[in-house]
Amino acid sequence: MEEIKNKVISAAEFFERNINPVPFKIIDVREQIEFQTHNLGGENIPLGILLKNSEDLEDYKNEEVIVVCQHGLRSETARRFLKQNGFQKVRNLSGGITAIRKLNK
């Protein structure tokens, strides 16, 4: 299984990959109300739930997974947790949704 060496993805690279899609799974670890306000189209699994139910994500263990939150802190916690649980291709969106919004201004 190929391991991703770079544990973060920049807002610019994320934006570019969405224009020229390379398949990856987005997991948004913010609370549901935050997700409903603005999101990047991923699956919403709040951090507290993800930390208790990572076995629900077993199907994605061999896929590239990008975790996102508002600023990149919760998603880094999620990235580390998933990495410890066998996810080799997991990255954190550096700066989170805030960085994406700044890029789109």
Domain boundaries, the chain: 8-103
Strands 8-9 and 43-44: unpaired
Mean pLDDT, to the nearest integer, of 2-25? 73
CATH code given to domain 8-103: 3.40.250.10
Give pTM, 2 decimals: 0.84
pLDDT at 1 over 50: no
The average pLDDT across 63-86 equals 95
Average pLDDT of the segment spanning 55-79: 93
